[in-house]
Chains A and B, each alone.
Chain A
Amino acid sequence: MTSAEHKKSMYNNELESSEKLTNTWESVIGLEVHVQLSTQSKLFSGAATAYGAEPNTQACAVDLALPGVLPVLNAEAVNMAIKFGLSIQANIPHYSIFARKNYFYPDLPKGYQISQHENPIIGPGHLTIALENGEQKTIRITRAHLEEDAGKSLHEGFENMSGIDLNRAGTPLLEIVSEPDLTSPKEAVVYLKTLHTLVRYLDISDGNLQEGSFRCDANVSVRRTNQKQLGKRVEIKNLNSFRFIEKAIQYEIDRQIGILEMGGSINQETRLYDTDKQETRPMRSKEDAKDYRYFTDPDLCPVVINADFIEKIKQTLPELPQKKHVRFQTDYKLNAYDASLLTSVRELADYFEEVVKEKVPAKLAVNWIMGELAAALNKSNLSILESPINAKRLAGLLQRIADHTISSTIAKDVFEELWLSNKNSDEIIQEKNLQQVTDQSTILKIIDEILKKYPEQLADYKAGKDKLFGFFVGQVMKASGGKINPQQLNNLLKEKLDH
C-alpha cells in the first residue's frame, strides 16, 4: 500500500465513524457537452456525415485540408443551433463570428479547428431539471457555439503507428457549456439526460452516445461549505455513458476531498476516466498551457441573425419535453411518473397520443406501451419508430380490452399475433375465437363442473382455507381457455362458494 493509499484508507475509516466530515464539503460541477448535429452534410463542406462509412470515404478536399480549399457554412447547422437557443430561452446575438483554434494533431487536418471564441451563436440561457425528490432546479447555460469535429485516430492492428480516419472531420458540433451550478453527480446526470432528451426532441441530434453524437466533459472542484471561492477544478474528458459520468464525477470528488483533507492541493489538469479501473487518471500526453492563438477566421464572414430569421425558426419548434410532461398530466390525468416515461422520447409520446386518439383510455395505453410493447421492442432491439405494431393497430387491441371483448390475458396472445402478422385485432380474435365469455349461465356451468371435479379442495375451502379461492379461479379460467371475464368470474365464484 502506498502512503497515499494508506492515507486514503485512514480517511475512509474516519469517515465511517464520523459522517460529519463530508458535511463540510460541497462539490461544484460544470458540464461541457458536444452534441453532433444531424445535418446531411458537414459544417463547412458538402461531404456526407453518416456514421459508419469506410475510412476516408466521406472526407472531401475541404475536409482533407488540401491546398487552396475554402469553407462555406451549412445553413441547417445554424438553424439547429438557433432552435436549441430558443428552447433554452437563450439570448441569440445579432451576429456571430467563427474563429480558428490553432493546434497540431493528426486528426485535425488544417492544423486548426474552426470554432467560435468570442461572439458565439447562442448566448446565456437556462435549462430546468427535475430532481429525484420532485424539486425543480434551474441550471444556467453560459453559451452554446458551433464548431467542426475532428477525425479519429485508430491504433488497433498497427505497430508503432496510428491510422487516421477523417470521415468525422468537419461534422458539425454544438458545444453547450453550463455554469458550475450542479452540485452532485446525480444532478449532473439528470442535467445530461434532460439535455439529451431535449436535443432529440428538437431533432437536431440523434444523441447516440455509443456513436459519439453526445459527448460530455465534466469540470469538477470541491470546496468547504462556507468557502466562497471556488476550488481548483479538474476537467474529466472522454465520458460516453451516463453511468460512467456519474461514477467518474463521484470518484473525482472523493479523490479531491481526500487530497485536501490531508493538506494537499489539487493540480488543475485534465484527466480521463478509466472504465476498467474505475478511476480518473491524468492524461498521458500533456501539452503545457495550450496556447490556441484564437483569431477570427478570415475565410469566413460574420453570420447575421435577424429577428425574422429567428421567428421563422421559432415556428418550426416542436412542443418541448417540459411542456408536454405537464400537458400529459392535465390532459390525460396521468401521474408524473407515467408522464415522464412517455415524454422521455418524443416519438414515444407521439405514439401514445395517436393511440389515445382512437378512444383508448389513457392509463390502459400507458400500461401496454410501457409494458408489453416496450418489452417486445427491447427484446428485438427496435425503437418505437420501428415497431411492427403501429399506434392504430395497438389501439385496435386496446379497444377490445376496454370494451371487454377479450381479457387482458388473452390480449397478450393477440399482441404476439399482431407483432408477427399484418392482421388487425378483430381478425385475430375472430379467427381464433378468443372472445371473452360473459354469459352468466355459461360461466356458472363451468364453475359447477370445476367444483364437482375437486370435492376435496371444496371441502378444505369451506373449512376455512381461503387461499384455495385462487385455485378455483385458475381452474375455471383454464377450463374456459382463459376467456372468461375475470371480474365476472370472481363475483360469480364468490357467490357460489360463500353462500
Chain B
Amino acid sequence: MHNYTITELSNALRAKKVSSTELTQLFLARIDKYDKILNSFITVTPSLALEQAKRADLQYQNGSAGSLTGIPFAHKDIFCTAGIKTSCASKMLANFVAPYDATLVSRLNQAGTVLLGKTNMDEFAMGSSNENSFYGAVKNPWDISRVPGGSSGGSSAAVAARLTPAATGTDTGGSIRQPAALCNLTGLKPTYGRVSRYGLIAFASSLDQAGPMTQTAEDAALLMNVMAGFDEKDSTSIDQPVPNYMLTLNDSIAGLKIGLPKEYFSEDLDPKVAATIQSAIKLYEKLGAKISSVSLPNCHLVIPLYYIIASAECSSNLARYDGVRYGYRCSNPTDLKDLYERTRGEGFGDEVKRRLLMGTYVLSADSYDAYYAKAQKIRALLIEEFKQAFQKVDILLGPTTPTTAFKLGEKINDPVSMYLSDIYTIAINLAGLPAISIPAGFVEGLPLGMQLIGSPFTEEKLLNAAHRYQQETDWHKKIPEKFNL
C-alpha cells in the first residue's frame, strides 16, 4: 500500500482493509529503511504519529472519520508544529521547539492527518537544490547522485520514494513546483493569499505560499479543500469562499483555451525537454483544448526582479534571529554587537548570508531607487502582462524547469547559474498567480514536469486540467524502482 494515493488510502481505511495504525507503521518502517539514503527527514515523530493513528482508528470505528482521517503525512520543516522541533534546516533554529501550530498544520491536524515527521529543505527556503541544509543534502530518489530540487526537496524526495503519501511544501520562487518536476510529483502553488501564512516561517512575505505536494491532482484537490481558506491571523489572507476542488476535477476541458508563452519555448530550450512538452500539448489538443501563443515580454527580467525583491524582504524577515529570545546564540559575546554579528555569522549558512547581504544592499539608501523601487515597478508591469494574457486564454502552459535534475554539487558554487534554474517558475510568485507542476514524461530516465498557470483563484481550473491529463497518462504513477520495494 506504500504506493497508494491518499484517495486510495482513504478508501482502504474506510473499507477497513487497513487501519491507520498499520499504515503509519508501514510508512515509519519505510522511513527507517530508506531515509538514510535520501536524508529527506529532519525529524521523525513515531510516538506522536502512532498516538494520532490510534485516535484516527477510533474515529473510523465510531463512524466520524473524514476524507483525511488517519492519513500519514509530513510537513516541510518550515511550518511551526507545536511541541516539535521546527528548524527551517538551519543551525539558527536547530534548538527551536515551536510553541504553537501554524494555521495550516492545525487545519490538517483537525482533518485527522497523522504526522510522520518534518521534512528537510534548503535553509530558510533559500535554494533550488536542497544542498543548502544544515542537516545535509537530500538525494533525488530517481538518481541519488542528483538533487531533488528545492527548497522543498525533503518533501519532494519523501513523496517520490513513497516514504509518505503526500507532504506540504512552500513556494516562493518555485520551491514546490521545481522539486515536484524533478521528482515526478504533482505540486501546486496556490494563489497568493489562498492559504494562510501564519506559522509559515517567512522568507519573502509577498511571495511565499504553502501548498500540497502529492502523487496526483486528485490528492492535491483533497488537501486543498482543507488547506485553503481565510485566516484572520494573516493580514494577507484573502477572504474568499473555498470551493470544493473535488467537484470539478472531472469536468470536460473541451474548449479550454491554453496559451503558450513564446518566451518559454525559445530556441535555448533543450530539444528533448521541448519535445516532451510538445507531446503533452498534443494530448491537450486531443482532449479538446484550444492552443494559442501568448507573449510575456518582460519575463526575461524575472531573475533579477525576484532576487532583488525576495532578498530585500528576507533581509528584514530574518533580522529577528539574534539569539536573544530563542534559537542559536554565540558563546561569550563581548558586547551587544558581537552577540548579533557572531550569532548571525555562525547561525546562518552561506546562501542565507549571501541573500541577507543582497537584500540589505538593495534597501540601503544609495541603492534603493536603482534596485528595489525599480524592481517593484517592473513587477507591476509583469502583473499587467499576465492580466493581458489571461484575457485571451484560460491557462498558460510551459515546462516547469529548463532541465531535468542536475547533479549534486554541479551548481552549488555558481549561485547565478542556480538561480537561472527557476526561470519558468519565478514570474508566477511575483504576480501572485496559482500554478501547478505535473509529471509530463521522462528524459533519459529522469522525470520532467509541465507547468500550468492560472489567473488568480482559478485553482479549480488548474486541478481539473491536471487531473484530465493524468487520466490519459501514467507518468505520475511511476515510482523509482529502488524504493518500490
**Interface set of A (CB-CB < 8 Å, partner B):** 61, 64-73, 100, 102, 104, 106, 109-112, 164, 291, 293, 295, 298-301
Contact = CB atoms under 8 A, between A and B. Distances in A.
B360 interface: yes
B336 A106 contact: yes
Interface of B: 79-80, 86, 88, 93, 96, 98-100, 102, 197-202, 204-206, 232-236, 312-313, 315-316, 318-320, 322, 324-326, 336, 340, 360, 363-365, 368, 372
B316 A295 contact: yes
A61 B80 CA distance: 12
Contact of A112 (B202, B204, B319, B372): B319
22 contacts: A64-B326, A66-B325, A67-B86, A67-B88, A67-B93, A67-B98, A68-B98, A68-B197, A68-B198, A70-B235, A72-B235, A100-B316, A102-B315, A106-B324, A111-B322, A164-B324, A291-B364, A293-B360, A293-B368, A295-B363, A298-B205, A299-B202
Contacts of B340: 104
A68 B201 contact: yes
A67 B80 contact: yes
Contacts of A295: 312, 316, 363, 368, 372
Contacts of B198: 68-70
Contact of B363 (A61, A293, A299): A293
Contacts of B200: 68
Given A68-B202, A112-B319, A301 B236 contact: yes
Nearest to A61: B100
Nearest to A98: B235
Nearest to B196: A70
A109 B201 contact: no
Given A106-B324, A109-B320, A73 B235 contact: yes
Interface of A is mostly: loop
Contact of A102 (B102, B197, B316): B316
A63 to B, nearest CB: 10
Given A164-B324, A291-B364, A295-B312, A70 B319 contact: no
B239 to A, nearest CB: 12
A111 B234 CA distance: 20
Given A72-B235, A298-B205, A299-B235, A111 B316 contact: yes
Interface SS majority for chain B: loop
A363 B324 CA distance: 60
B235 A110 contact: no
Contacts of B326: 64, 66-67
Nearest to A289: B365
A70 B206 contact: no
A164 B336 CA distance: 13
A73 B235 CA distance: 8
Contacts of B336: 106
Nearest to A102: B316
Given A102-B316, A293-B360, A295-B312, A65 B80 contact: no
Nearest to B340: A104
Given A67-B86, A68-B202, A111 B319 contact: yes
A300 B206 CA distance: 10
A155 to B, nearest CB: 13
A110 B322 CA distance: 9
Nearest to B336: A106
A109 B317 CA distance: 11
A240 B41 CA distance: 55
Contact of A72 (B232, B312, B318): B232
Contacts of B205: 298-299
Given A67-B86, A293-B363, A298-B205, A112 B316 contact: yes
Across the A-B interface, give the 5 residue pairs with the lowest CB-CB distance, nearest first: A111-B319, A293-B363, A298-B205, A298-B206, A65-B320
Nearest to A105: B336
A102 B99 CA distance: 26
A69 B320 CA distance: 11
Nearest to A300: B235
A345 B312 CA distance: 48
B306 to A, nearest CB: 14
A69 B201 CA distance: 8
A333 to B, nearest CB: 54
Given A66-B326, A299-B235, A300-B235, A104 B319 contact: yes
Nearest to A164: B324
Nearest to A295: B363
A67 B95 CA distance: 13
A110 B321 CA distance: 8
A291 B367 CA distance: 11
Nearest to A107: B324
A100 B340 CA distance: 20
Contacts of A69: 198-199
B414 to A, nearest CB: 28
B234 A68 contact: no
B363 A109 contact: no
Contact of B320 (A70, A72, A110, A164): A110
Given A66-B326, A67-B86, A298 B313 contact: yes
Contact of A70 (B233, B364, B368): B233
Given A104-B319, A104-B340, A293-B363, A301 B235 contact: yes
Given A70-B234, A104-B322, 4 more contacts: A67-B202, A70-B198, A104-B340, A295-B316
A111 B344 CA distance: 13
Contacts of A293: 315-316, 360, 363-365, 368
A61 B201 CA distance: 13
Nearest to B87: A67
Given A66-B326, A68-B80, A298-B206, A291 B235 contact: no
With most chain A CB atoms within 10 A of its CB, the pick from B234, B316, B364 is B316
Contacts of A301: 235-236
B50 to A, nearest CB: 27
Given A67-B93, A67-B201, A295-B363, A72 B233 contact: yes
B99 A61 contact: yes
A291 B319 contact: no
B325 A70 contact: no
Contacts of B318: 111
A64 B99 CA distance: 12
